[in-house]
Amino acid sequence: MATINAADVAKLRRMTLAGMMDCKKALEEADGNFDKAIEIIRKKGQAVANKRADREAGEGVVLSKASADGKLGVMMVLNSETDFVAKNSDFLALANKILDVALAKNPSNLEALLALPVEGTKIGDKIVEYIGIIGEKLDLSYFEKIEAAHVQAYIHPGNRLATLVGFTKAGLDIQMYKDIAMQIAAMNPVAIDKNDVSEKVISQEMEIGKEQARRDGKPEEMLEKIAQGKLIKFFKENTLLNQDFVKDNKMTIRQYLGSSSK
């Protein structure tokens, strides 16, 4: 039987991020063979994943990032069961590794991203491996990408909210791009302009407006006009170009963007 020393345990710890005792046990079971020990740790992750499959992973991080040339941006959500794990340095490191792979390889969708390698292992398998290390259900639940003349990413402090914005025009002041990304994070518009709002949403808002007016005792013949007024207010508050700029509410986002041409 191989002799397992502290240096071997520390080496396996660096390779897998598993706990020291888990590394020691895995090396003992593998008779000192590092490849077998890594496989043992991965199998433990699968076992833990199976046990926790029915758990809800409602916490986690939302991350976004743009390429160095500003032409591609990616966004992803990695979920955990608890906020404690979401703030764990190993969990955040894993999330950022996945984000970097997504940006470098530009996968077509979430399934393709899960199949890409990170540190010699498919991302999907690496997540399972980390489940065994961390002890909670983890889930890469969302992936999206944007390709445009300029892409701007923004992550709100705390990693619970992020935006990714594609612009049709490159070469503007970088602060302007950042301001728009932050505006979207702060105000959560439903569309770029009022003409981009779906008919379904418009119909819903009209019905809500009529019902509110009806409850306020307004006459039936006035409901349509009142609802139209409320719809105009909805467009103002919920479409990006018509929203007041959060850093200067004396101008709209349309006016702010227009100032770039002056």
Which among 166, 182, 176, 143 has a CA at the least distance from the CA of 63?
Answer: 143
**For residue 261, what pLDDT is reported?**
55
3-state secondary structure string across 96-138: HHHHHHHHHHCCCCHHHHHHCEECCEEHHHHHHHHHHHHCCCC
Assess whether pLDDT exceeds 80 at residue 43. Answer: no
Q: Which percentage of the chain shows pLDDT scores above 90? A: 64
Structure-token match 């002799």, residue found:
3
Mean of all residue pLDDT scores within the chain: 88
Closest among 187, 161, 173, 201 to 253, alpha carbons compared: 187
Residues 189-208 have pLDDT tens digits of 999 999 999 999 999 999 99
Asked if residue 212 lies in contact with residue 237, where contact means CB atoms within 8 angstroms, the answer is: no
Burial tier of 21 (Cβ tally within 10 Å: 0-12, 13-18, 19+): exposed
Q: What pTM was estimated for this model as a whole?
A: 0.77
Q: How far apart are CA 63 and CA 159, in angstroms?
A: 7
Q: Which residue has the higher pLDDT, 150 or 50?
A: 150
